[in-house]
Amino acid sequence: MVNTATTEQRHTVEVNLGPQHPSTHGVLRLLVELDGEIIVSCRPVIGYLHRGLEKMFEKRSYKQTIPFTDRMDYCASLNGNLAICQAIERLGGLQAPERAQYIRVLLCELNRIASHLVFLATYATDIGATTVFLYAFREREKCLDLMECMTGARLTYNYVRPGGIPQDLPDGFENGLNCFLDDLLKALEENDRLLTGNRIFRGRLEGVGVVSPEMAAAYGASGPVARGSGLNYDVRKTAPYEVYDRLEFDVPVYHTGDCMARYLVRIEEMRQSARIIRQCLKDMPAGEIMCKMPKIFKPPIGQAFSRTESPRGELSFYMVSDGTPNPARVHGRTPSFVHLGMLPAMLPGVKIADVIAILGSLDTVLGEVDR
């Protein structure tokens, strides 16, 4: 965008936002060229958290890949579990029992709430409203308590297995869940008054970081980023998996494409998730939670592709089997990776404070970007 002649005239300053910076939410480095407070160009540098997960998958059996997906998107690790398990199920022709599918959906939505609450917390802090951070985490804490009761872990759940789920709902879970959902809806309403309606907050977000629907599509944006730009694209609706086609929920779509739209999509999604969870609790049938699995799982030669709607967007796995107990190739298409790629196009012309607002509104998780 910028040629050397103008940079020399303008005496721009190059600033490294990150890798250690309070607002990059991980180890992301943004090489930003500044003209005063205004961004001239930006180059994201990633890979600081690269652990070679895809390479590690090749050396491990199918079941052993699951705990590693926890480490990708650590805010919503259940979606990673689900995505890779779906790919494995499709490779091996397995089908999870209906009850397991309901529980998977229930937990994924609970996890979506937890993830969006982290977004709300960190985003408010990025904008400067530190108090919302703790209010959101207060609710998330209850959410994590429930997840802990269910899965045994607070962050890295490793709960979905190819062909079902390992454990059924614990006693008292429904009651606790209902309590939490009531609290959550109250807290969201409170948050609307505290943060969403705040004049400064709106002023900081409205009209900032606008992404047009065409740009969103061309850059492969998904999830709240796409839906904030007016793309009605939700994998849960366009390519329903598990039992999403039986559940009733709305996909919030906002057309302004700015940070506020992305924020509002996420807030509304939490309400919809609560709705889905209530339906799941109501509709869940009794029965098996795990289908029959061979002792050593060797799927036939072939390739499988699964996609799920993670809180950040479309999380898909492409998995190739060569008939051995280990996958020949696993590739994860992670939404944060795609969204970070949009930054060089979004940032030029905005102010430093907006960089933080835009980066926060993409809600990237660096564990997922670098894999």
**For other proteins, the closer CB: 190 or 283:** 190
Residues whose CB is less than 8 angstroms from the CB of residue 36 and which lie 6 or more positions away in sequence, other chains included:
none
C-alpha–C-alpha distance, residues 57 and 294, integer Å: 20
C-alpha–C-alpha distance, residues 34 and 31, integer Å: 10
**For other proteins, the closer CB: 5 or 172:** 172
Q: Give yes or no for a contact between 78 and 160, defined as CB atoms under 8 angstroms apart.
A: yes
C-alpha–C-alpha distance, residues 263 and 235, integer Å: 19
Element (H, E) at 40: strand 38-45
C-alpha–C-alpha distance, residues 6 and 297, integer Å: 61
Question: What are 274's two structure tokens?
Answer: 């609560």
Q: Give yes or no for a contact between 247 and 98, defined as CB atoms under 8 angstroms apart.
A: no
Instruction: Give least dist CB 16 to other proteins, A.
Output: 9
Instruction: Give least dist CB 201 to other proteins, A.
Output: 5
Instruction: Give least dist CB 154 to other proteins, A.
Output: 9
Instruction: Give least dist CB 114 to other proteins, A.
Output: 14
| Residue linked to tokens 């959101």 | 136
**For other proteins, the closer CB: 206 or 283:** 206
**For other proteins, the closer CB: 272 or 334:** 334
**For other proteins, the closer CB: 52 or 287:** 52
Instruction: Give least dist CB 243 to other proteins, A.
Output: 17
Residues whose CB is less than 8 angstroms from the CB of residue 37 and which lie 6 or more positions away in sequence, other chains included:
351, 352, 353
Instruction: Give least dist CB 158 to other proteins, A.
Output: 4
